[in-house]
Amino acid sequence: MPEQPSTTLPDKLMFDFTRFYVLVILYEGPIHGYGIMRKFKERTGKEISASLIYPFLHQLEARELVEQKIEFVGSKEKKIFELTPKGREFCENLFERFSEIISSAIEPSLETCASCGAKIYEGGHEEDVNGKKMSFCCVHCAKSYLRLIGSK
């Protein structure tokens, strides 16, 4: 009988999301491990443990994506982690791929402004045009469209 995986799919996906988000934080600039944990909690509301952060940072370092430097705060030594040029390129490629995935996932739910063609994620403006509800990114586009077609 095959061994069952130790984590469920949602747990694994959250773990992968956590690592992805650590890369986002590293991309913003040099930071120490505690700073990563603090930023992660501020932005997501979730705790992240040192037992996840440091092994991941060491994996990145082994792949030459991250380098660490020692900084002194008073007499205390802090390890600061920073993406290497190779790490920045890796992140840019990863972020581009992630952006494409997210775009394809939300594309079907987007409205398109009838005037300027902008994609509308949330909000926007609806207008009744000749008995038909139409979507616009803003009231200005709606007015412009109505002027163009000679309505109102």
Handedness of CA 73, 20, 61, 89 (dihedral sign): negative
pLDDT at position 98 over 80? yes
Q: What separation in angstroms does the CA of 90 have from each of 12, 73, 123?
A: 21, 31, 34
- Mean pLDDT for 115-144 is 88
Percent of the chain exceeding pLDDT 90 equals 47
Residues 6+ apart with CB under 8 A from 120: 110, 111, 112, 113, 135, 136, 137
Residue 13 has pLDDT above 70, yes or no: no
How much is the pLDDT for 122? Answer: 80
pTM of the model: 0.66
Assess contact for 72 and 80: CB atoms under 8 A.
Answer: no
- Torsion angle defined by CA atoms of residues 95, 98, 99 and 103, in that order, rounded to the nearest 10 degrees: 180
As a whole number, mean pLDDT of residues 29-45 equals 94
pLDDT of residue 12: 58
Is the pLDDT at 14 greater than 70? The verdict is no
Query: Quick one: pLDDT at residue 10?
Result: 54
Domains and CATH numbers, the chain: 9-107 (1.10.10.10), 110-149 (no CATH)
Mean pLDDT of the chain: 86
Higher pLDDT, 26 or 119: 26
44, 45, 58, 117, 137 from 110: Cα distances, Å? 25, 28, 40, 11, 11
Q: What is the pLDDT of residue 5?
A: 46
- Say yes or no to pLDDT of 7 above 60: no
